[in-house]
A = this chain, B = another copy of it.
């Protein structure tokens, strides 16, 4: 079958790989219908995260179950499913607490050393271990494009908003208008925020939010801290979400949050450091939560319910729909920030 693989720094190729097979009776094989290119795929593309040449890529997928092992009970061949972007065992100490992102057997799809033994989602076929835990059926009314967001970005947004402790009537600031920020803003609005404000520097991305009816602040033209203060009688946001993963975004989230408020970091960090002024955070009685990788298994059916009922529509984020064979072009567009979201159809 055809699959996207890493072929060196900044190069991906679509090549033939062996058909994945049922290895354990708890495995399923999924025929991919749509796969996303995600910001974290770029870490491998840019050589910042370890993947060997020939390593398969991609972790966001919706597809149809092709075959299942003898001990898969939850899905059957023919079921349309979303694949969890990271594979959890479902049985360890952390999984039993719903913290599947800390699974003792954590493996990420399509991510080299972080997913040993696993293929990638940008492929025609994909083996999914522990299928009962790592596949979620897609209701009939939800199309592939909506469903693919549930495998990662939208579940992440539901989780980030949940741990923020959002209450009805709160003001929420989201730093970053990329796919995660977009979804966080939509989820926060539906989850009780009286007002949601997204902060970014990219006018095109902000336009996308504006089209979705979300209030935006262009940080080139307006000071975010003042903008939030104006909207909150001087207090600042009850909840501020860093949906970027960059120290400047963190600083901005910290700055726009009110005293006694909550900062949630869902944008991915690796080796970044910042100076944290302990006295300021203490005097302001702040709360700071890091999502880490989303424990998608505990949150994705909530994300699915929201798209199924039409409460959220993430598809305006999709700027490019390409055949799988054009994956290289898709990576180029996305790496060059000329695409908001690229989806690949095998």
Residues of B within 8 A of A260 (CB): 94, 97, 99, 101-102, 292
A278 to B275, CA, bound (A): 10
B187:A168 contact, CB within 8 angstroms: yes
Q: Identify which of residues 297-328 in chain A touch chain B, using a CB-to-CB cut-off of 8 Å.
A: 297-298, 301-306, 308-309, 311
Name the contact of A168 in the complex, choosing from B272, B283, B302 (C-beta under 8 A): B302
How far is the CB of A271 from the nearest CB of chain B, in Å? 5
Residues of B within 8 A of A91 (CB): 73-74, 132-133
Name the prevailing secondary structure of the A interface residues: mixed
Name the contact of A278 in the complex, choosing from B192, B265, B285 (C-beta under 8 A): B265
Residues of B within 8 A of A187 (CB): 168
How far is the CB of A24 from the nearest CB of chain B, in Å? 7
A96 interface contact, C-beta 8 A: yes
A284:B279 contact, CB within 8 angstroms: no
Select from chain B the residue with minimum beta-carbon distance to A297. Answer: B96
A53 to B286, CA, bound (A): 33
Residues of B within 8 A of A170 (CB): 305
A191:B191 contact, CB within 8 angstroms: yes
What is the interface of chain A, defined by CB distance below 8 A to chain B?
A: 24-26, 70-71, 73-74, 89-94, 96-99, 101-102, 132-133, 158, 161-163, 167-171, 187, 190-192, 194-195, 233, 235, 245, 247, 250, 259-260, 265, 268-279, 281-293, 297-298, 301-306, 308-309, 311
